[in-house]
Structure 1
Amino acid sequence: MTALEFTLPAELEAHEPPEARGLSRDRVRLLVGHRSSDTVRHHRFTDLPGLLAPGDVLVVNTSATLPAAVGVTGGELTVHFSTEQPDGSWLVEPRRNTAKATEPFGDAAAGDSYPLVGGATVTLREPYSAGRLWIATLDTAVRPYLDAFGAPIRYSYVHRRWPLSYYRTVFGTTPGSAEMPSASRPFTDRMVSRLVSAGIQFAPVLLHTGVASPEAHERPYPEPFAVSAHSARVVNQARAAGGRIIAIGTTAVRALETAAGADGLVHPANGWTDLIVTPGRGVRVTDGLLTGFHEAQASHVDMLTTIAGPRLLDHTYTEAISAGYLWHEFGDVNLILP
């Protein structure tokens, strides 16, 4: 088996948050892979401080999750709000409601308008990606409307609705992501304090992630990001001193690597990134990655291969499936170290 060819057993899908399984956020399982030896070890997330070294930097995404799913009046469809565009329009994905959650809806057309709960109307202007995302406008201010009438985006493997607080992380200070930057979900205030006490530094970055493509596994599209002068300085100084740069989530990798020059120095930057990390492109700054477990066809697999290497990635996913690790945003996590 390779990480690109496995079939995920249904019993390894996390159907609810760990809190509903009797665990605190920071008690999920942590599978640690070491690229230097292509070995993996089993831990709990609470072991993280002992797996890092003083001077290491954790790059964290401060984007907070929006209540980005809104029902269409009549109950047949749900609209997922994805990414605000520079002109004030939004990318949206209309999806058909099912008994479990939603599924792709292929019958939308330019000019279609949908009455939403709460009295708003969304109008599809033009297609953005084939059969899925649309450039659309809402006849009221989107953010306040979502706060009043939206709910977290939920796919069929999560069997019931959970409040927005379950989809937000301890680092999320700036609402803007359609879906949770879930790699940082296991962090708690206590864990952050333990890490700081152990000499671990944090470098906040921002990347607002749009709606996933769980059926088609499309490549990421351009997303807004920002890397501050402070975070660039923290990363550059740590690298010069021999510290390791560990990204918390694929979104943090995308933001950080966008801001990194060919010389390996990180510069303050903001705007939109269309960067896709592949083995051919490589990474300039990122030494390691904490992330959830991804499906075999997921677009993130190229990034994982880049950071872990194909041998370690294969070993990691074989072991994760054998040992019953859980997938998706409420599941377990994987730490890739150099």
Structure 2
Amino acid sequence: MKLSDFDFDLPEDLIATRPVRPRPAARMLLAQGDVFSDRHVQDLPDILRRGDLLVINTTRVIPARLTGQRPRNSAQGPVSAKIEVTLIEPCPDGSWRALAKPLRKLAMGDDVVFTDSLQAQVVEKTAEDVVLRFNMDGDAFDHALDVAGQMPLPPYIAGRRAADARDRDDYQTVFARDRGAVAAPTASLHFDTDLLDGLRANGVRFAEVTLHVGAGTFLPVKTDDIRDHKMHAEWGQITPSAAKAIMDTKAAGGRVIAVGTTALRLIETAATAPGEIGPWSGKTDIFITPGFRFRIADGLMTNFHLPKSTLMMLVSALMGSGRVRAIYAHAIAKRYRFFSYGDASLLFPD
């Protein structure tokens, strides 16, 4: 399939730069096969069935965007350059791979000073990114990052406004626990504790998994033939208890519904056979496109995605390309809000 097969025209004013409050007040397009209905996230307890299982991602977004200065001596004296850094992922030796802007201003051995206490040295540079070794690690680094960093809002929001204190809450799920993501599992942003309690009271269960969402989620597909695109690998884990909850749900005839494409990609990575899954840990670069055979997920709750993105390809694989075009045409006509801070959809292929 071609990249152009996943394109569509989106009015700029439908791109959300702030979420609605309270979180479950967001609109939700329910698609059950070819039947669409306009609902709200707060309707989930009435829509889902007793015995359904929601698979949620417990990753916690770190304030991965840093602004610092690169000091350097020159023939004319000391000079400095402003450097913006977005951490991508930790390296095994404790350093961090990062995007830097402007990259051309950095060289091997350069220091970047972020605060009086937090600084890093460039220990590797490629054509696309750098590796930074910070002057602290462990809890001390986490604390310094919390003080100095900003939430790594997606480009389509960051290009319209700067991250602020409100994003510290808005861009974090209520069940975030495990630090490591540099992007939020955005479908999960629609939940609050009252909604979770209401779902549990109605017999809906939860399985907690972890996938640390990387900056690769924002990278555009640059190949016209989508088969040539390479996904960015992300670390994830499914515990024995989560795998058992999924298997028990399948055995009892309940539906397994992934909350977000990150949870869906993880459970499909860990599937061992149709309807079967076990504990799993490692990196996944699974690329789900039309023709993929889903082995675990019966449904998906997700936001509305960018044109020509890998996530458009994923929802097209689940629902069918023609049906997804109809879903998105409906969403645009009804003026749903798009992308990370936008509205939700709940998708069942049958």
Q: How does the TM-score come out when normalised to structure 2?
A: 0.85
**Equivalent residue runs for 1:245-260 within 5 Å:** 245-260=256-271
Q: Which runs of 5+ in 2 are unaligned?
A: 70-79, 223-229
For 2:205, the equivalent position in structure 1 comes to 201
Distance 2:62 2:89 in 1: 10
Distance 2:247 2:219 in 1: 38
Distance 2:121 2:310 in 1: 29
Q: CA deviation at 1:186?
A: 0.9
**Equivalent residue runs for 1:43-62 within 5 Å:** 43-62=39-58
**Structure 1 contact 16–158 (Cα < 8 Å) conserved:** no
Matched, 1:287 2:291: no
For 1:209, the aligned partner's letter is V
Matched, 1:11 2:8: no
SS of residue in 2 equivalent to 1:91 = strand
SS of residue in 2 equivalent to 1:294 = coil
**Structure 1 contact 3–296 (Cα < 8 Å) conserved:** no
Matched, 1:241 2:252: yes
Larger Rg belongs to = 2
C-alpha spacing 1:198/1:6, structure 2 compared with 1 (3 Å): same
Q: CA deviation at 1:51?
A: 1.2
Matched, 1:85 2:91: yes
For 2:227, the equivalent position in structure 1 comes to none
Distance 2:10 2:23 in 1: 23
C-alpha spacing 1:216/1:263, structure 2 compared with 1 (3 Å): closer
Q: CA deviation at 1:40?
A: 1.4
Report which of the two has the higher share of helix.
2
- Matching residue within 32, 35, 38 for 1:34: 32
C-alpha spacing 1:62/1:284, structure 2 compared with 1 (3 Å): same
Cα RMSD for the two superposed structures: 2.2
Distance 1:238 1:147 in 2: 38
Q: CA deviation at 1:297?
A: 1.6
Bigger shift: 156-165 or 293-302? 156-165
**Structure 2 contact 95–132 (Cα < 8 Å) conserved:** yes
**Equivalent residue runs for 1:292-311 within 5 Å:** 292-311=303-322
Q: CA deviation at 1:334?
A: 1.0
Q: CA deviation at 1:70?
A: 0.5
For 1:314, the equivalent position in structure 2 comes to 325
**Structure 2 contact 268–294 (Cα < 8 Å) conserved:** yes
Q: Which runs of 5+ in 1 are unaligned?
A: 96-104
SS of residue in 2 equivalent to 1:251 = helix
SS of residue in 1 equivalent to 2:104 = coil
Deviation sequence 1:307-332 (CA, Å, 0-9, x none): 11112211110011111111122111
Matched length: 319
SS of residue in 2 equivalent to 1:225 = strand
**Structure 2 contact 243–278 (Cα < 8 Å) conserved:** yes
Deviation sequence 1:36-70 (CA, Å, 0-9, x none): xx121101111111111111110000001111110
Distance 2:106 2:217 in 1: 19
Q: CA deviation at 1:79?
A: 0.4
- Matching residue within 232, 251, 262 for 2:273: 262
For 1:210, the equivalent position in structure 2 comes to 214
For 1:113, the equivalent position in structure 2 comes to 110
SS of residue in 2 equivalent to 1:261 = strand
For 2:114, the aligned partner's letter is V
Distance 2:81 2:183 in 1: 22
Q: Give the fraction of aligned pairs with identical amino acids, expressed as a percent.
A: 29
